[in-house]
Structure 1
């Protein structure tokens, strides 16, 4: 029987062959409960199961369920049969956990691993979000005709930034994991206030002096950020939220906004940029690949947790 360390080595060797942009390893959670599953051929696979809460009033409650059960699979070279067996065992483990309607099961897995994709689909998971990456490169673009101007936003732009961010959240709640909760306006205002008073770049597009689009960006050093462990080492540009007024979508404003952000990332020496988008979103699933992004990790989800098959 292979040990967890042997399974991990085999798994990351397989990841490297699947996608050279994946990191050599990534951080596993501490304090998680280990589960073991047996495959039909007699070999075993393992996983780490965690349970986390997103209490009301927390920022994360806007993009995830109130109770999240996450599995970190360790399946070695058995992405389909191993994942299938592990998900069956995880379902049995979940039966002993109390969960309500505001709950979810999630697994984050390399987007290019189609063998595992089949197992996720068979167990009722949906690919509701993905982490997408873009290599750093300056962008040459033709400014669209009209009176659109791009500038850095500041503290005085708080109301405009919040209004545009809430518009994006309202749309995202229809096509992904986000939820427009009653306290969303205050949560977005608090987050925008912090960002606008930091060194993180926020770009605002204005038409005749009226804000019509925003790109909230930031910086992530993978050596300092737990969230960066799914990226290769270095400093990355992060695209947190992009929102364009409905009447201007398709006009080139979003492309101009992101060209400005990408050129800033390039000037600062970032190794690349990343963001999260929802594959079921008919706008972002087209827009982001056109800007040079492609999926690296897919966030598979089942809501509520009891819907896992």
Structure 2
């Protein structure tokens, strides 16, 4: 559920993610998102007005103020920092042609099958143990929210790849298709076209550092390219010391930065 109001020349939209909403995996339960006018030159004024508005709303503890801003536009960054925002996530895209598929000795990379579901689910849940250290805290109901989403993925396009060694799943990539077309939500963030979305990629702790992630993604990039994708995109957390190094090495470039304050009452 969402609600919009005008805030001067900007638009302020409130999103409510109730119990059972998959968005709660990465989001606060109540999010106030600001949409500044294009090419704004006075972000500080918009944020001061926003701060005044939030002071009248008394938001709950499980809340956030959030704004998407072009990653390469530095003009607003000082204002974001001054008002308590941090760069919590980056939407990055990769549009370069894929290279050759990389292999790792003793490792098989393939599409996941039904029998792999529990192993992939366990690995997906484990990512929230780690990302909870660098972004949104892990929720107690993480498995409850994640299981049906992953189940639909297995029963649908099955865009889930795994890497296994000796019959053990040691890495997984859960992906999907997103159509960016006029008047769609995706068109607000991505150029028009059919995009491959890289949702969750995880390597078992004991298997990291051996090129496994690169090998897995080299196959994913090739399969998306040959299926007609204009490119692939994903979100990663800048404070994550693994993701912030790995994804740029795979050819991903920041497009949008998500600036956030939690709780929403902390905006200043």
TM-score range, shorter chain: over 0.9
Decide which moves more: 221-230 or 82-91.
Answer: 221-230
Decide which moves more: 120-129 or 51-60.
Answer: 51-60
Residue pair 2:179, 2:186 contacting (<8 A) in 1 also: no
Q: CA deviation at 1:136?
A: 4.3
Q: CA deviation at 1:155?
A: 2.1
Q: Does 1:62 align with 2:25?
A: yes
The number of residues matched between the two structures is 266
In structure 1, how many angstroms separate the alpha carbons of the residues matched to 2:101 and 2:153?
27
Aligned pairs (5 A) from 1:21-100: 32-36=4-8, 46-74=9-37, 76-78=39-41, 82-100=42-60
2:259 partner SS: strand
Seen in structure 2, the aligned counterparts of structure 1 residues 213 and 261 have a Cα distance that, compared at 3 Å, is same
Q: In angstroms, what is the RMSD of aligned CA positions?
A: 1.5
Q: 1:238 aligns with which of 197, 220, 223?
A: 197
Higher relative contact order (CA 8 A, sep 6+): 2
Tell me the equivalent position of 1:139.
99
In structure 2, how many angstroms separate the alpha carbons of the residues matched to 1:194 and 1:283?
28
Q: 2:76 aligns with which of 111, 116, 124?
A: 116
Seen in structure 2, the aligned counterparts of structure 1 residues 221 and 200 have a Cα distance that, compared at 3 Å, is farther
In structure 1, how many angstroms separate the alpha carbons of the residues matched to 2:68 and 2:43?
12
Cα-to-partner distance string for 1:119-141 (whole Å, 9 max, x where unaligned): 11111100010100000412225
Q: 2:125 aligns with which of 161, 166, 181?
A: 166
Q: CA deviation at 1:142?
A: 4.1
Residue pair 2:173, 2:198 contacting (<8 A) in 1 also: yes
Q: 2:212 aligns with which of 241, 253, 256?
A: 253
Residue pair 2:102, 2:214 contacting (<8 A) in 1 also: no
Seen in structure 2, the aligned counterparts of structure 1 residues 108 and 174 have a Cα distance that, compared at 3 Å, is same
Q: CA deviation at 1:57?
A: 2.1
Residue pair 2:180, 2:191 contacting (<8 A) in 1 also: yes
Seen in structure 2, the aligned counterparts of structure 1 residues 75 and 236 have a Cα distance that, compared at 3 Å, is closer
Residue pair 1:222, 1:235 contacting (<8 A) in 2 also: yes
Cα-to-partner distance string for 1:55-87 (whole Å, 9 max, x where unaligned): 122111110011111100015351xxx100110
Which blocks of at least 5 consecutive residues in structure 1 are unaligned?
1-29, 37-45
2:56 partner SS: coil
Tell me the equivalent position of 1:25.
none
Cα-to-partner distance string for 1:168-193 (whole Å, 9 max, x where unaligned): 111111111x3321211122111111
Structure number, greater radius of gyration: 1
Which blocks of at least 5 consecutive residues in structure 2 are unaligned?
none
Q: Give the TM-score taking structure 1 as reference length.
A: 0.83
Cα-to-partner distance string for 1:225-277 (whole Å, 9 max, x where unaligned): 41343100000010000000001111111100000100001101111100000
Q: Give the TM-score taking structure 2 as reference length.
A: 0.95
